[in-house]
Amino acid sequence: MSGPDRDADASVDATCDLCGRTIPSSGVEDGERTFCSTGCLDVATTLGAPATTGEPNTDDSGDPDGDEGTREDLARTFLRIDGMHSATCEAFLESVAEGCEGVVDAEASYVTETMRVTHDPDRVSDAELRDAASTLGYTAYLRSEATEEGESAGATRRSREMTGMRKRRDDRLLELRYAAGLLFGAFLLLPYVAVLYPVHLASVTELALLSGFERSFRLNGAGGLMFLRLSLVLAGIVLLFTGLPVLRGAYVGLRMRRPNTDLLVATTVTAAFVYSTAAALLGRTDVFYDLAVVVAAAVTAATFYESSVKQRALEELTDLTVSQVEAARLYEPDGTTAEIPVEELEAGDRVLVRAGERVPVDGVVESECTVDEAIVTGESLPVGKEEGDDAVGGSVVTDGAAVVRAGPEATSSIDRITTALWSLQSGNHGVQRRADRLAARAVAVVASAAVLAGLVAAARGSGATNAALRSLTVLLVGSPWLIGFATPLSVATGIEEALRRGIVVFDETVLERLRGVDTVVFDKTGTLTTGEMEVVEADAPPGLLDAAAALEARASHPAAAAIVAAFGRDSDRTDGGVGDERGDDPTDRVSEFATHATGVEGVVDGTPVLVGDLDLFADRGWAIEEGIESRVAEARGFGRLPVVVGRDGAAEGLVVVGDEPREGWAGTIAGLGERGIEVVVLTGDDEAATEFFARHEDVAHVFAGVPPEGKTATVERLAGRVAMVGDGTNDAPALAAADLGLSLGGGTDLAADAADVAIADDDIGSVEMAFDLASAARRRVRQNNRLALGYNAIAIPAAVAGVFNPLTAMFAAVVGGALVGANCLRDLADE
């Protein structure tokens, strides 16, 4: 086994016509189509699924969409790339990867900062692909090697990737660029304020003091020349060091023929620098080095602020449950065990998994136990396993110890889910930002005007030098560079505003894209419900409930924990209690104990006690009181778990345990409905567990019994823009496949990695709040783009009036930047 990049087993005879999953013996048919579950059949019937699988082929052997995907000699490498921030970056990095020998296909996504490369491993290695993608300021990492020396292996994969050593070096370099811009910019601006600005102010006023400045500067030719030389050096340092990321973005935009906001900024700073150098050589004082420095430093500062806010967003999340298993306990024929890395397991190896531990690989159970498969299947109720039953890698053994024989591929379902997640993420292309679309139009207009102005000046006999300066002046005046400043500043303040409300946003386009959502899909278990078992009803003698709690204190079943929490004495609990008033010890009360796949039995205070389902009571030959069977059936009808309790050979009562709906779920769904958003509920549980939600008037569809692969297929078949809300590992591919993924704070690491938005405080009401913030944030972005044109609104009239100089240019820049900054400081709630 080699982790999530290992090839999946594709040699199956029959697969589900919706999700591509292997058809079990209990598969269902609908005419010529066959499905793995009634849930997939329901989805296909309702949404009109095609006759072939909707999930992309996640086999690492090649391209999922073409014939190359069947070639066994091809491999698939997944990279995370730092520095991507637009659709232009996607296209550029794809072209870089496809230019490598042996690469068949490459797909990049700036939304998830990932790239998938299908290649011949004999002609180009993973390391070579990583190095090739680390170009022009982009930094690539192999996703399979997320953990670096000194990094926590217990953190989420996203946090390990985003806080690794190389990433920290990139962040420090950006901070250094920002500091250099401030330092050298200050050195340059001080003489401008002290000397050059008064000179230009003197040209439009008659103050004697200012005229003295002008005479002094013009008469002292050597001093003026030294000033201009110093300005040239300082401006060059700032432009080539501080402004390098902007210049890189502009170059990429030009190379890919996709003008972006970086090109707007680069147009201004480059035109200012070239014009100033030419003017200085001609002995003129209208040099705009100050504008080049301020623009480069301001945009870099906004980018640095955006980066720091995103880093704080990552730090807001606690380390979530790690789903993947790194070590396995090999069970030798003589009964001894040896711990080995999971990747060293081979088909047929036997693994011992104790209560509370995760099953490392898919396989077959060789002993009775109870497992919680919710993290993989989404089903909230634990499942009893007997010898010969399938074991799902990533599931948790909750009761008893399991001996699992590794399957043919010695892989885990978690690995395949991870591979599917990475494949979907890298194919999740971003949309070109509104600001970039505006930049594309602005660049064309400004460039055309500059060329026209130069031609007109040349036609009037101004000479080549003056004609060139006239064209540069138009670029200085006409390019709306403040849009490149407003964009990262708007992003940063929007993310920060969301953070204050417990909503962690990883992708700067989320708040914009969220506003266009047509359908929201909710996973049921752990999302619409609490994901935790609790007693919702009990009908049994108090003494029997007390004895049942003492017995269940020895079990690790989720239902057992709920019973102990509800009826146990302090001494029975595992939450740090110090004993009840009698000082009883649970080990004294329980003299005998035995666990079964469907319950437990023992002797409590000298009395035989049995706790479990009806089949266990029948197997043990215990009598069942009249009416208990009907009450059990009724409880199951609401998707709850009925637990029968009895003593002295007879069942005497019932405890109903369930995963209850979250507080505020109905209001959240109603709020989405008021926005015209359609709500769909998905779950791996049976239909009875979803009946409660189906009755809500704003729930359009409820699909029950849907496996993880089916959830992804469902999301892909829903019309319009789809957002998915989930919390578990089994939700990760669906979260990635959706246009927007939202994970709740109690979710697993894979869910957090797949999502665009994480609800840090685990409050379902924050889903509705995210939509409110999205609407307000988009209005702010549009306002900022309009305010960004404030520079041009001042500079263009000044140029027409013949008073455009470094002083008026800086005044326009300061006013425009102040307007944008002030608007960003306003609370989004006021929008």
Q: Which residues does the annotation mark as catalytic? A: 523
Q: Annotate 565-614 with DSSP letters as a single string.
A: HHH--GGG-SSS----TT---HHHHEEEEEEETTEEEEEETTEEEEEE-H
Going by DSSP bridges, is the β-strand pair 503-505/757-759 parallel, antiparallel, or unpaired?
A: antiparallel
Rounded Cα distance, 311 and 164, in Å: 12
User: CA-based angle 670:671:676, to the nearest 5?
Assistant: 90
Rounded Cα distance, 601 and 551, in Å: 7
The token duo for 520 is 């929201």
- The answer to whether the beta carbons of residues 567 and 548 sit under 8 Å apart is yes
User: CA-based angle 768:774:780, to the nearest 5?
Assistant: 145
Rounded Cα distance, 415 and 423, in Å: 12
Q: What is the sign of the dihedral through the CA atoms of 329, 333, 335 and 336? A: negative
User: CA-based angle 385:389:395, to the nearest 5?
Assistant: 60
Rounded Cα distance, 682 and 660, in Å: 16
The token duo for 501 is 């409300």
- The answer to whether the beta carbons of residues 486 and 818 sit under 8 Å apart is no
- State whether residue 268 is helix, strand or coil: helix
Rounded Cα distance, 93 and 96, in Å: 5
Phi, psi for 376 (deg, rounded to 5):
-105, -45
The amino acid occupying position 15 is T
Rounded Cα distance, 292 and 277, in Å: 12
Rounded Cα distance, 539 and 598, in Å: 20
Residue 219 is inside which H or E element, if any?
helix 208-219
Phi, psi for 749 (deg, rounded to 5):
-65, -35
Of 794, 787, 777, which Cα lies nearest the Cα of 818?
787
619: DSSP letter:
H
Of 103, 155, 83, which Cα lies nearest the Cα of 750?
155
- The answer to whether the beta carbons of residues 199 and 213 sit under 8 Å apart is yes
Q: Annotate 418-437 with DSSP letters as a single string.
A: HHHHHHHHHT-PPPPPHHHH
Residue 378 is inside which H or E element, if any?
none
Can you give the three-state secondary structure of 289-309, one letter per residue? HHHHHHHHHHHHHHHHHHHHH
User: CA-based angle 629:630:634, to the nearest 5?
Assistant: 120
Using CA atoms, how far residue 493 sits from 67, 267, 301, 346, 472, in Å, is: 46, 26, 13, 51, 34
Rounded Cα distance, 297 and 282, in Å: 27
Phi, psi for 233 (deg, rounded to 5):
-65, -50
Please list, in sequence order, all residues whose beta carbon lies within 8 angstroms of the beta carbon of residue 455, skipping any fewer than 6 positions away: 467
**Measured torsion, CA atoms of residues 545, 550, 554, 557, in degrees rounded to the nearest 10:** 20
Rounded Cα distance, 808 and 787, in Å: 18
Please list, in sequence order, all residues whose beta carbon lies within 8 angstroms of the beta carbon of residue 190, skipping any fewer than 6 positions away: none
| Burial of 605 per CB tally in 10 Å (0-12, 13-18, 19+) | middle
Phi, psi for 399 (deg, rounded to 5):
-150, 130
The token duo for 640 is 């709850």
